[in-house]
Amino acid sequence: MRIVMIGSGYVGLVSGACFADFGHEVVCVDKDEGKIAKLREGGIPIFEPGLDALVAKNVAAGRLSFTTDLAGPVGEADVVFIGVGTPTRRGDGHADLSYVYGAAREIASALKKFTVIVTKSTVPVGTGDEVERIVRETNPAADFAVASNPEFLREGAAIEDFKRPDRIVVGIEDERARGPMEQVYRPLYLNKSPVLFTRRRTSELIKYAANAFLALKITFINEIADLCEKVGADVQEVSRGIGLDNRIGSKFLHAGPGYGGSCFPKDTLALVKTAQDHDSPLRLIETTVAVNDQRKRAMARKVTAAMGGDVRGRTIGVLGLTFKPNTDDMREAPAISIVQALTDAGAKVRAYDPEGMEAAKPLLGDIDYAESAYQAAEGADALVLVTEWDAFRALDLKRLRDRMANPLLVDLRNVYSPAEARAAGLDYVGIGRPDAEH
């Protein structure tokens, strides 16, 4: 199959490289000339484990290429995916679909034969209808079908998720789209990955509903963690106890400083706005959004309280800035709110992250950056673990203690046990653990 991927960001680049690895001929298109030049030179604009090798392999095999020219590749394509950004629109919280609709107009002008146009970007219900209208209006003679095929990729595990998915969702209105979409994903049939064909609007809603439900699980366990601290229970044991119920499951029941990233914040907000527009408000998701936003700054108050109520003039080391491990993505990362609140209160922050510091610098203002976790701890009055990178899971706690001015570890991911922290001479504050263990 000849596939064109419009957009060479996170979704487009990972999807394009994986499709090429299946044996398809893939062209990734992007208007950013600098990004395309970097990709052609073998550089990768994002950090995703294994992506550099996957791209290099398929470029070398002649199955994957990069260009700023949309018209030529689209004219020869069997399937064109739209994988551009859909950020939150300023002012009203809706998804900004200008990039999707702009791509649709350009695709329409370039069509030469029957082509399936697929929205891979996360888009609100009804977007496919508008894409179809735009294409017909722009090129009335075009022969095409519009499908929805949402991505379900976890940053840091995106290649594995693409090649061994829980499910593949395809929404169609025109039956002519079914055959090409089956051909696109035929290599996954060997893995027995379920392919769910639905109507287009159903497919669009599945993506939002999935992300909203996972965000709800995270927010639920975070509120249970707060209750655990008040009543003397352990949230990790609560999580395990309820997660063993197969009706609930153990995933996304890890208490922490709140969710962030490129998907959950914008997708929950966009779903809330869509529901309000259709006079069918989603009260649970509205509350999830509000509670999560409040929690991020509440984590800074937790640090301040652990330091006796005043952080002015004191040095705080921060371990981890990205919203999750194995990515350099700082979008909506809890660290942003935490660091800003601490610096607003007069603290001096020194941070370290294995991959995210360059992306963090424009967002975090005047803070210092360390070259290692141990350097971040040097002379610190507290050390705050925000992102659970593997590199932070087996730190020499005694070595940290010896470098710190005050032996306080605030573990916002419960990576360490209170007992091992105490054995190293550290005062320990975790999430959702009884005061007796602190």
Other beta carbons within 10 angstroms of residue 170's beta carbon come to 21
18, 28, 228, 263: the catalytic one is 263
Quote the tokens at residue 250.
């153990």
Q: Is 414 exposed, middle or buried (0-12, 13-18, 19+ CB in 10 A)?
A: buried
Q: Which residues contact 230 (CB under 8 A, 6 or more apart)?
A: none
18 classed as catalytic? no
Neighbour tally for 75: CB within 10 Å: 15
Active site residues: 263
